[in-house]
């Protein structure tokens, strides 16, 4: 059979399956058998700072300077991802607190256009929801953007918001902290952890993160700069700790890299996870670094 005929058959099957099969089933097939161009999830910061500043925040946002990420840079990152990954299961918009960004609505249409089938979800602490106008909610509905509220012990009526979103036809979830506890980061400043063990017990290794043309296996690596700067530390991020999207264009290569520990894992705890009662950060080093 000629190669061109084979390509036509593959495209025909792909088009038919895209139209006939429900997306959830396509998503399942892609995850299980993969066309080699599927990424389970990716997240990005819309802002680096936050209006809540929780102790132990794993994005280190209480230590970050106020920074509103450039919408055009984010769109450029997603165009680069699209060259590599046909489809991404879930795209999380967060920070910091993403609702602090005055141009949040400007990212939604291009994201939806680049990844029409992805579940796109804004992760918020909910504090600024009652400051949003009608245009905000109608844009979420128009582009099928979901909202996930993390349920902190603060005065936000999360359940009331779930009902309101339901009435507006917008998907919404809320995620409860485990009995108001925050996970301690317990980073090892000397890099003496067993990186294989740290990776195998890690709950963040699927929280892939994109920023400035680089794709990271997890959240702490791109954001460690905030901790380094604030306390004048030197947690090193080497060139093997991320993927340069201008150089690596193979989805299977990237997915293979994500299955193994990276150098940075030597800083993450290889001990049993510890928790602290929820509180606002005092910006003390032991909120992130092991004594
Ligand atoms: S609300 Fe979320 S992003 Fe903000 S400080 Fe708390 S954990 Fe970090
Ligand atoms: S550096 Fe490794 S162990 Fe640490 S959060 Fe990332 S994947 Fe997990």
* The two structure tokens encoding residue 80: 């680069």
Q: Whose Cα sits closest to atom 7 in ligand 1?
A: 57
Q: Compute, in angstroms, the gap from residue 102 CA to the centroid of ligand 2.
A: 31
Q: Is 61 in the pocket of ligand 1 (CB under 6 A)?
A: yes
Give the residue, out of 61, 185, 209, 276, with the most ligand 1 atoms within 8 A of its beta carbon, to mutate for a pocket test.
61
* The two structure tokens encoding residue 22: 């429900």
Nearest ligand, CA of residue 283?
1
Task: Please report whether residue 187 resides in a domain.
Answer: yes
Task: Please report whether residue 8 resides in a domain.
Answer: no
Number of domains in the chain: 1
* The two structure tokens encoding residue 206: 């699927």
The per-residue pLDDT for 99 is: 98
Kindly report the CATH number assigned to the domain that includes residue 100. 3.20.20.70
Task: Please report whether residue 49 resides in a domain.
Answer: yes
Q: Do residues 234 and 249 lie in contact, with contact meaning Cβ atoms separated by under 8 Å?
A: no
> What count of other Cβ atoms lies within 10 Å of the Cβ of residue 269?
19
Q: Could you tell me the CA-to-CA distances from 34 to 11, 26, 27, 39, 237 in Å, in that order?
A: 16, 10, 9, 9, 30
Report phi then psi at 6, rounded to 5.
-60, -45
Mean pLDDT in each 10-residue stretch from start to end of the chain (291 residues)?
A: 59 54 55 70 98 96 98 97 95 97 97 97 97 98 97 92 97 81 93 97 95 97 98 97 94 92 97 92 96 80
Q: Is 52 in the pocket of ligand 1 (CB under 6 A)?
A: yes
Q: Could you tell me the CA-to-CA distances from 14 to 19, 21, 35, 79, 112 in Å, in that order?
A: 9, 10, 10, 22, 20
Task: Please report whether residue 162 resides in a domain.
Answer: yes
Given the CA of residue 203, which atom of ligand 2 is nearest to it? 8
* The two structure tokens encoding residue 24: 């959830």
Task: Please report whether residue 28 resides in a domain.
Answer: no
Q: Could you tell me the CA-to-CA distances from 272 to 106, 180, 198, 262, 268 in Å, in that order?
A: 42, 19, 10, 20, 11
Given the CA of residue 281, which atom of ligand 1 is nearest to it? 5
**Full DSSP string of 128-139:** TGGG--HHHHHH
The per-residue pLDDT for 28 is: 58
Q: Compute, in angstroms, the gap from residue 257 CA to the centroid of ligand 2.
A: 13
**Full DSSP string of the chain:** --HHHHHHHHHHHHHHHHHHS-HHHHHHHHHHH--S-EEEEEEEESBS--SS-BTT-TT-GGGSPP-B--HHHHHHHHHHHHHH-SEEEEEEEESS-GGG-TTHHHHHHHHHHHSTTSEEEEEE-STTGGG--HHHHHHHHHTTEEEEEEE-SSS--HHHHHHHHHHHT--EEEEE-GGGEEE---B-TT--S-HHHHHHT-S-TT--EEETTEEESSSHHHHHHHHHHHHT------GGGEEETTT---HHHHHHHTTS--GGGGGS--S---EEE--B----GGGTB--
Given the CA of residue 62, which atom of ligand 1 is nearest to it? 5
- Give the number of residues written for the chain: 291
Task: Please report whether residue 198 resides in a domain.
Answer: yes
Give the residue, out of 44, 45, 53, 57, with the most ligand 1 atoms within 8 A of its beta carbon, to mutate for a pocket test.
57
Q: Is 220 in the pocket of ligand 2 (CB under 6 A)?
A: yes
Task: Please report whether residue 21 resides in a domain.
Answer: no
Residue 195: domain span: 36-283
Burial of residue 136 (CB within 10 Å: 0-12, 13-18, 19+) is middle
Q: How far apart are the first and last CA of the chain?
A: 66
Q: Compute, in angstroms, the gap from residue 196 CA to the centroid of ligand 2.
A: 10
Q: Is 127 in the pocket of ligand 1 (CB under 6 A)?
A: no
Give the residue, out of 262, 267, 269, 270, with the most ligand 2 atoms within 8 A of its beta carbon, to mutate for a pocket test.
262
Q: Is 125 in the pocket of ligand 1 (CB under 6 A)?
A: yes
Given the CA of residue 95, which atom of ligand 1 is nearest to it? 3
Task: Please report whether residue 2 resides in a domain.
Answer: no
């Amino acid at each position: 059979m000629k190669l061109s005929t084979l390509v036509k058959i593959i495209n025909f099957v792909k088009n038919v399956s895209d139209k006939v099969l429900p997306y959830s089933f396509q998503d399942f097939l892609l995850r299980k058998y993969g066309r080699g161009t599927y990424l389970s999830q990716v997240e990005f910061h819309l802002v680096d700072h936050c209006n809540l500043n929780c102790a132990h925040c794993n994005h280190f946002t209480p230590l970050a300077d106020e920074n509103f990420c450039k919408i055009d840079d984010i769109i450029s990152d997603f165009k680069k991802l699209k060259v590599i990954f046909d489809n991404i299961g879930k795209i999380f918009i967060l920070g910091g607190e993403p609702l602090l960004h005055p141009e949040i609505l400007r990212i939604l249409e291009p994201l939806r256009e680049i990844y029409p089938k992805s579940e796109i979800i804004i992760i918020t602490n909910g504090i600024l929801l009652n400051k949003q106008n009608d245009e905000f909610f109608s844009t979420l509905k128009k582009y099928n953007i979901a909202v996930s509220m993390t349920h902190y012990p603060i005065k936000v009526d999360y359940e009331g918001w779930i009902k309101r979103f339901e009435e507006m036809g917008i998907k919404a979830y809320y995620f409860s902290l485990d009995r108001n506890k925050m996970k301690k980061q317990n980073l090892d400043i000397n890099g003496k952890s067993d990186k294989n063990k740290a990776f195998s017990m890690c709950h963040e290794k699927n929280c892939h993160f994109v920023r400035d043309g680089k794709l990271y296996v997890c959240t702490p690596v791109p954001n460690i700069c905030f901790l380094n700067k604030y306390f004048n530390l030197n947690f090193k991020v080497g060139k093997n700790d991320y993927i340069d999207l201008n150089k690596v264009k193979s989805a299977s290569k990237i997915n293979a890299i994500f299955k193994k520990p990276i150098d940075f894992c030597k800083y993450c705890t290889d001990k049993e996870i510890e928790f602290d009662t929820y509180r606002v950060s005092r910006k003390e080093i032991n909120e992130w670094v092991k004594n």
